[in-house]
Structure 1
């Protein structure tokens, strides 16, 4: 729950149900959690997987310290970070990622992966993510590949052709 709450703080989304505690519901539509942030964070290639348990414990300890500092009583039925309001979650993440904070690098890395799950679906093959309706790729307007699995763009990105195809270019777009 703590990792979900962190991901939701970085890129908020709608609650999955009225009793959802991890997702604060601070923004309409899907956010980092629905985009697969936890799946990406648990992918060994990220290099953060081994430290996730430490980061969860540390984040909850920081949440308890913030609550004590501000005189906020936390609900003991959920992890401390989850018990914080969305505004206090945001305040804590802001503090943890400020220049000079001794743990900044770890929190920034975690935040980057949460964004990456939404922005690029880095844990999925792009065609599979689009076929499954990945929320981040859909929000950015990614189109599905053609029936042959290749992406083609009917309009030039600069609204004009920048160069003619080389005469030896194959039908798949590869140089001969």
Structure 2
């Protein structure tokens, strides 16, 4: 394959961002030769939940900066590797080359109070969490039906046949309030 460089654009960016997302919410490797996902957890993590799809969704407002995020993350990873005597594998981007524990150390440093780039890295981490926690980039019913790992882990169930979610057992063991007398059969106020 040869060394991967920032000039390889999409693949370089994607594997770097997948490794970042996997550091935020780890998952299991997608295949034996998966380098971006470290494989430190069982089941699907942020990558399998669609973190890259969410990051590339223009609604996030960060899509135009993803190349810069990947380049900066790899610069930080290369500096970390040099400082810690780690010889990176040149077949993958520097951040991808790091073992999981070292990836986590780089992310902890970048998101630590007082780091000048903290706000940027926290925003990227939040979108990775969002992909897992809410599948914001997908239709919820479709995500659940497809076995979305985050929604499945949270136990979110499919809606009733009419597409509405109803909760026959109140979460507090009792209704919190009675229905307003003008509520329509669809649940909307009149």
**Cα distance per residue 1:100-139 (max 9 Å; x no partner):** 1111111100000000000000101212211221111111
What pairs up with 1:23-172 in 2 under 5 angstroms? Answer: 23-172=37-186
User: Where in structure 1 are there 5+ consecutive unaligned residues?
Assistant: none
* Counterpart-to-counterpart distance in 2, 1:107 and 1:164: 44
SS for the counterpart of 2:26 is coil
Deviation of 1:144 (Å):
0.5
Distance 1:132 1:170 in 2: 32
- Long gaps (5+) in structure 2: 1-14
- In 1, Cα distance between equivalents of 2:87 and 2:72: 19
**CA apart distance, 1:168:** 2.8
Root mean square deviation of aligned Cα: 0.9
Of the structure 1 ranges 137-146 and 126-135, higher mean CA displacement relative to structure 2 is found in 126-135
The number of aligned residues is 176
Counterpart of 1:57 in 2: which secondary structure? Answer: helix
Structure 1 segments, 4+ long, off by >4 Å, are: none
Q: TM-score, normalised by structure 1?
A: 0.97
Partner in structure 2 of residue 4 of structure 1: 18
